[in-house]
Amino acid sequence: MEFSLYNSSSLRFPQNDFLPLHNRSTLGSFHTFSIKKLASKSISTCRPLIWRRLPLVRRNAQTATESNASGDKHGEDDFIVEDVPHLTHFLPDLPSYTNPLKKSQAYAIVKKTFVSPEDMVAKEIIVQKDSPRGIHFRRAGPREKVFFTPEEVRACIVTCGGLCPGINTVIREIVCGLKNMYGVDDVLGIQGGYSGFYSKNTLNLTTKVVNDIHKRGGTFLQTSRGGHDTKKIVDNIQDRGINQVYIIGGDGTQKGAAAIYKEVEKRGIKVAVAGIPKTIDNDIAVIDKSFGFDTAVEEAQRAINAAHVEAESVQNGVGIVKLMGRYSGFIAMLATLGNRDVDCCLIPESPFYLEGPGGLYEYVEQQLKENRHVLIVLAEGAGQEYVAQSMQAFQEKDASGNRLLLDVGLWLTQQIKDHFTNERKMTINMKYIDPTYMIRAIPSNASDNIYCTLLAQSAVHGAMAGFTGFTVGPVNSRHAYIPINRVTETTNTVNMTGRMWARLLASTNQPSFVNHQTLRERVDKNTIDAINNMKINST
């Protein structure tokens, strides 16, 4: 169903910084609208403003071209905004207040203190002349009007799932952002993940308490997997008088945040729910990268360098380093590219095989003959089907619903050792390093500290401005408010036909493993053809 809104004047977003809703009961958890023309400083509504029910039908360049050919002008300048919910969607009489940043000495130097309601961030920045304008998200940042007074705010912070560098920085900057920017003194720390809402005590978080936690690894609030009971959590939120909830976690955690928002909306209570996406694997969709990723890639260099030294110091040395990457091989790929000593990188997105022409055994033997050593980096999710078959193991899941992985590092180490010892009659020296927990547990580096600060402050600005049921992150280097389901509906993976993977293949000179018959049955034919036809270079 679509609702068309006409207005002859230039559209001005109301003071609560979101577009007005008509017939709210028909809309989903977040709101998508299409604007025919976006002027340089204002959005003209001389043409219809369309609100669309989810799922959104997205137009591609081919559709746009066909539409133009048939006389339909939508394809030429279609502008889609995927918006996030606001408290006034279900509490329409909520009062607004002047943002305290208006009197801030620090922000007085900023030429434009507040983000315009019309500022949007484009999901795609590389477009063709005749392609539609595409999907946009609301730009993150402070608003001129807020919907909480500092005295009434009681915020809470919770961390869920596995560890990664930077969690403590996010916690610290949420507390400091609430206090230093908005004058909020009442912030609670929920201990032990989601179950901590109803089974553990809370901590009172002040700027003094969190002052140096960014120098430590792990999470100051402790974490856990699972334990999500939406009704119990929201009951506790109501009982404690909490009205801002900041949730730091990965895919499953963000789905839980969406469920909490839905229950809050159902009960009609004034609670802003903000998610900060976390995963060390960098597999969150839409956003440029996840916090802690840069630190992980940097720390992985120490393990790779150690394995390289060990392997090249002995006759027929084989160094194997296993890195994080359950479903996505970004850490392994970037660590390999950053190191340049790696001979082969194996990731979940690229199936590989051991025996036969073009197989891993053949390549390892070639490297041993030429260089007397070989260095392999693999992501933890690579080759899981082979390990499972070899060990006759069944796939199990943890409390968060993630697949429990078998140790592909130990398996591959044994396979290579057995092959060369028993079949090739070669003596090899295996050096296997698994730095997973060393990487996960370290503090974030300077780059990630800055990034975590921006994430935390964006979340605080959004919650104070009355947005809810949203997550934050950079889209094309600009921070935006994103509907939670957009970052949980799919997993970000390495593009096997993209330039970055081509750069890696050029760097390592490893086989692409796509010509083996068994793999040709598993890999999409178009992908194989694209890889076979790819002109690989190092630029």
Is 469 annotated to bind a ligand? Reply is: no
Is 119 annotated to bind a ligand? Reply is: no
How far apart CA 309 and CA 431 sit, in angstroms, is 10
Contacts of 345 (CB under 8 A, 6+ apart): 329, 332, 333, 336, 376, 377, 378, 504, 508, 510
Is 219 annotated to bind a ligand? Reply is: no
How far is CA 147 from its chain centroid? 28
Q: Considering just the CA atoms, what is the radius of gyration of the chain in Å?
A: 26
Is 324 annotated to bind a ligand? Reply is: yes
- Tell me the β-bridge partners of 145: 98
Is 439 annotated to bind a ligand? Reply is: yes
Is 162 annotated to bind a ligand? Reply is: yes
User: Is 283 annotated as catalytic?
Assistant: no
206: number of Cβ within 10 Å = 14
Is 338 annotated to bind a ligand? Reply is: no
Q: Minimal CA–CA distance to 120: which of 108, 136, 133?
A: 136
Q: Minimal CA–CA distance to 143: which of 14, 20, 42?
A: 14
Is 325 annotated to bind a ligand? Reply is: yes
Check whether the bond before 55 is cis (ω within 30° of 0).
yes
SS (H, E, C) 84-120: CCEHHHCCCCCCCEECHHHHCCCHHHCCCCCCCCCCE
- Which residue type, as a one-letter code, is found at position 156? C
Is 433 annotated to bind a ligand? Reply is: no
Is 280 annotated to bind a ligand? Reply is: yes
Is 47 annotated to bind a ligand? Reply is: no
Give the three-class secondary structure for 131. coil
Contacts of 527 (CB under 8 A, 6+ apart): 496, 497, 514
Please answer whether residues 481 and 136 qualify as being in contact, where contact means their C-beta atoms are separated by less than 8 angstroms. no
Catalytic residue among 78, 83, 281, 294, which?
Answer: 281
Is 250 annotated to bind a ligand? Reply is: yes
Q: How many CA atoms lie within 13 A of 267 on its CB side?
A: 16
Is 279 annotated to bind a ligand? Reply is: yes
Is 227 annotated to bind a ligand? Reply is: no
List the structure tokens of 462: 């959004």
Q: Where are the beta strands (DSSP E) in 387-513?
A: 429-433, 470-475, 478-483
How far apart CA 505 and CA 363 sit, in angstroms, is 13
How far apart CA 278 and CA 301 sit, in angstroms, is 22
How far apart CA 230 and CA 257 sit, in angstroms, is 9
Is 440 annotated to bind a ligand? Reply is: yes
Is 503 annotated to bind a ligand? Reply is: no
What are the angstrom distances between the C-alpha of 258 and each of 144, 281, 342, 376? Answer: 26, 22, 41, 40
- Which residues are documented as binding site for Mg(2+)? 251
Question: Binding site membership: which residues?
Answer: 162, 225-226, 250-253, 279-281, 324-326, 380, 437-440
Question: Which residues belong to the annotated binding site for ATP?
Answer: 162, 225-226, 250-253
Residue numbering of the annotated binding site for substrate: 279-281, 324-326, 380, 437-440
Which residues are part of the catalytic machinery?
A: 281
